[in-house]
Chains A and B, each alone.
Chain A
Amino acid sequence: MLVLLGLVAYPVGLSLWISLHKMSFRKPKDFPFVGLDNYTTALTSPEFASALSVTLKFSLASVVLIVAIGLALALLLNVPVRGRGVLRALVLVPWAIPPIVNATLWQLIFDSHVGAFNGLLMQLGLIDAYRSWLIDPNMALVIVVLAHAWNHVPLATIILLAALQAIPRELYEAALVDRTSRFRVLREITMPWLLRPIMIVMILQTMGALRAFDLFYVLTGGGPGTSTTALAWLTYQTSFVYLDVGMGSTYSYIIMIITFAVALFYIRGLYKRGDVE
């Protein structure tokens, strides 16, 4: 209990206290109480609005992509074919790669001078010269989403595959006897059984996406302009580059509140389905 208080409650409480003060490491002796001023400043600033918009776009796109690909792979790996064990092991590989290494890998893939993606498009005759994909404000965010999804799809796949294997075989056998179409089997049997695990995947992935930082740090540095400045990157910049820890703590709390609200939203969804007591 004491360890929990010391390692979790104290720092969390202290950062909340700091977020109610004007505090900069440039002037550590000045520590005036400003109440909710930092929160008002954050919520009315164009930088925050832009970062929130980037974060929401990134989170939405990532979660949709991860759930869709994860589900497709889980369904595929659930089919009894030769070499299924090897395929299941292979699908886990991206998950084993540390996020910072993953980011560096994708940076190399999309490099404007030596990137494999440019090489592939050139060989297919789709472009006539190498392009700088990461300087295109729209493409930059798409690439970050792809890199994030690649790293996180395996977890979604494993959770959904485990759920698929828990579906009673009798249901499928009954459907087979009734000559039910594959689509109907998916819609009437598989998907209802998968809804709860999908919800769990969505909660985990949304929380991860809202707090994503390493990909932005390595791949785009928040740019070009502010096109990939997500909330986590803004928090890092504010706290560790501008040394404004009062404002940085405020941003951290806003991220926490958003994450908490999203988690509550999902859990309420589960309650409505009667899956959570």
Chain B
Amino acid sequence: MTFFNSKALNRRKFLAGAAAIGVGTTLPLLQSRAAFGADVALEFEGWNYDPEFQTQIVTEYTAQNPAVSVNFIAEPAAQYVPKMIARFIGQNAPDLLYVRDQTLAGWADAEYIRPINDFPDWEEHVAGLIPFHRAGLEYEGKVWGLPYYGDHIAYIYNSDILEKAGIAAPPVTWAELADQSLAIKKAGLIERPFAFPLKSNAGLHWWSAVYASGGSLFDAEGNPKFPDEDTVALQLLEFLVHAAQELDILDQTSVQMGTAEGRLALAAGQVAFASSARYDLKVINDPATSKVSGFAKQVLFPSLTADGPHGTVGWTQMFSISSNTAHPDEAWDVLKYISSQDVAKRYYLKNGVGYAYEALDNDADIAAETSKWSDQGMFAKQGALAKPREYIAFPWAAEWEDFHMQQMQEAIVGRKTARDAMLASADKAIQLKKSS
């Protein structure tokens, strides 16, 4: 007679059996936990760019620090912000997390994350950072984390196409770029050789163009300076409209193009000029992922006039500690490890993703790696001209930028004039600022 077919299967036996099953399944876990020896379990969450690397780093950390276990979870990048906010609201945030530059101000205001200034040795961990990356970690006079990575928007051209069109040097101004695009078109190489990402989440490229021509969109209080107080934005949009509608040199898909689509268009040889994240050069110059391997080169971001200043947008993504962690000291210890200069260097060597440490600019391994797919000198030169978007701390920034990109699209497809689009965008900024 077995346990289950026994007529005597009463409540007591059922409970005893359930308890036995419970103990039987839990005990091995408890034993393995004890064997592992971790006293503190931390959750670490980020978006899904190379999660294997991050898992490897935390595994190394836990091997050196057996009293702490760290579970890294990678979320799809597109859902990362709403997912994290849901966790913050539900008081269920991970101990450590990635923080995007656009969300820093909002998450700091909402007290979702905690500043690192409370930890005794924080200053020595931000001392060697490139100034603009150091600034990217700050908000309201406090430092909110340590760098994950940082980079800038690069202007990229296809040297092979330029050579075939008889063009000796890459463009310095937008006017030169238009002339070269017309030459490429005339040579029958590419019908529309120039792309400008204008999708709603591609504002980085627009800001880079504005900075490259010495423009500014907002004052310190968030009042729009375009289209008349600072005319750079209007002139740039007028140029893009002219390139799309009259010169017919702007790739038609630009209005649907984000950074990823721009990179793919460059790698497929569909365009000769486009901006992209600087680290994308590694992929665009990789024969396994590109048709134009070896021909994608970086040049300073074109401007309206030859005297530049050819600036661009730079950004810093960071690791932070959530406010509600029960183990802030252990989280800080992990944070220092995962954002160390050594890890940043390894990340660069693996993925080409930019670093925030000044010392790495002169690192021989970094220079050797960069030379395989880019130009370290140009990287440093353009990087020195990079700065973050000036509106990023305004709570209405994301909504305004989406609206602004929609207005740009309306102008490019001919549904509005450049000036009307800019005026509508400025009005929207004023309205959002007023209601925030």
Bitwise interface map of A from 207 to 220 toward B, beta carbon under 8 Å scored 1, else 0: 00000000000001
A residues near B199, Cβ cutoff 8 Å? 221, 223
Question: In the complex, what residue of chain A is closest to B411 when comparing beta carbons?
Answer: A225
Other-chain residue from A26, A29, A135 in contact with B413 (beta carbon distance below 8 A):
A135
- In A237-255, which residues have CB < 8 Å from any B CB? 237, 240-244
As a 0/1 sequence over residues 189 to 215 of chain B, the CB contacts with chain A under 8 angstroms (1 = contact) are 001000000011000000000000000
How many Å from the CB of B85 to the closest CB on chain A? 5
Q: Does A112 contact B (CB under 8 A)?
A: yes
Asked whether B85 lies within 8 Å of A137 as measured between CB atoms, the reply is no
Interface segment among A9-17, A126-134, A177-185: the answer is A126-134
Chain A residues near B416: list those with CB within 8 A. 225
Which single member of B82, B252, B399, B406 contacts A132 (CB below 8 Å)? B252
Chain B residues, Cβ within 8 Å of A137: 413, 415
Q: Kindly state whether residue A25 has any CB partner on chain B within 8 Å.
A: yes
B382 CB within 8 Å of chain A: no
Contacts of A244 in B (CB 8 A): 399
Query: Is B255 located at the chain interface by the 8 A CB criterion?
Result: yes
Q: Closest Cβ of chain B: how far from A221's Cβ, in Å? A: 6
> What's the minimum C-beta distance from A216 to chain B, rounded to whole angstroms?
12
Residues of A within 8 A of B412 (CB): 224
Within 8 A of A (CB), among B67-110: 82, 85, 88-89, 106, 109-110
Complex contact A224–B410 (CB within 8 A): yes
Which residues of chain A are within 8 angstroms of B324 by Cβ–Cβ distance?
none
Find out whether the CB atom of A223 lies under 8 angstroms from the CB atom of B255. Answer: yes
In chain A between 14 and 64, which residues have their CB closer than 8 angstroms to a CB of chain B?
A: 24-29
Give the distance to chain A from B400, nearest Cβ to Cβ, in Å.
Answer: 10
Cα distance A262–B410 when bound, in Å? 32
How many contacting A-B pairs (Cβ < 8 A)?
A: 80
Instruction: Please report the C-alpha to C-alpha distance between residue A26 and residue B103 in the assembled complex, in whole angstroms.
Output: 9
A70: CB under 8 A from chain B?
no
A-contact 0/1 string along B393-414, CB 8 Å cutoff: 0010011001000110110110
Q: Are B253 and A135 in contact (CB under 8 A)?
A: yes
Is A226 touching B410 in the complex (CB atoms < 8 A)? yes
Minimum distance in angstroms from B274 CB to a CB of chain A: 14
Distance in angstroms from A105 CB to nearest chain B CB is 17
Contact of B110 (CB < 8 Å), options: A25, A129, A224, A227: A25
Chain A interface mostly: loop
Contact in complex: B410, A134 (CB < 8 Å): no
| Nearest CB in chain A: distance from B154 CB, A | 23
A242: chain B residues at CB < 8 Å are 398-399, 402
Question: Knowing that A28-B89, A224-B410, A243-B85 are A-B contacts, what are 7 other residue pairs whose CB atoms are under 8 Å apart, sorted by A's residue number?
Answer: A25-B88, A112-B253, A221-B200, A222-B406, A223-B199, A225-B406, A243-B398
Q: Are A241 and B106 in contact (CB under 8 A)?
A: no
Q: Flag if A243 contacts B106 (CB, 8 Å).
A: yes
Minimal beta-carbon separation of A179 from chain B (angstroms)? 57
Q: In this assembly, does B275 line the interface, its C-beta being within 8 Å of a C-beta of chain A?
A: no
Q: Which residue of B lies closest to A219 (CB)?
A: B256
**Contact present for B395 and A135 (CB under 8 Å):** no
The 8 closest A-B pairs by CB, nearest first: A225-B410, A132-B252, A26-B106, A242-B399, A224-B409, A224-B255, A225-B409, A25-B85
A251 to B230, CA, bound (A): 36
Residue of B nearest to A133 (CB): B252
**Cross-chain contact B109 with A26 (CB below 8 angstroms):** yes
A135 contacts B255, CB within 8 Å? yes
A205 to B419, CA, bound (A): 41
Given A25-B110, A225-B415, A243-B106, A134 and B82 touching (CB < 8 A)?
A: no
Collect the chain A residues with CB atoms within 8 Å of residue B316's CB: none
Instruction: Using A221-B200, A223-B200, A224-B413 as known contacts, say yes or no to A27 and B109 having CB atoms under 8 A apart.
Output: yes
Question: Chain A residues with Cβ under 8 A from B406's Cβ?
Answer: 222-223, 225-226, 229
Q: Does any Cβ of B come within 8 Å of A136's Cβ?
A: yes
Interface: B312 (CB within 8 A): no
Q: A268 at interface (Cβ–Cβ under 8 A)?
A: no
Contact with A along B262-299 (1 / 0, CB 8 A): 00000010100000000000000000000000000000
Which of B252, B270, B395, B410 contacts A26 (CB under 8 A)? B395
CB-nearest residue of chain B to A225: B410
Task: For the complex, give the distance between the alpha carbons of A14 and B199 in Å.
Answer: 34
For the complex, give the distance between the alpha carbons of A237 and B406 in Å.
Answer: 13
* A223, B106: Cβ atoms closer than 8 Å: no
Alpha-carbon distance between A123 and B105 when the two chains are bound, in angstroms? 54
Closest to A129 in B: B191
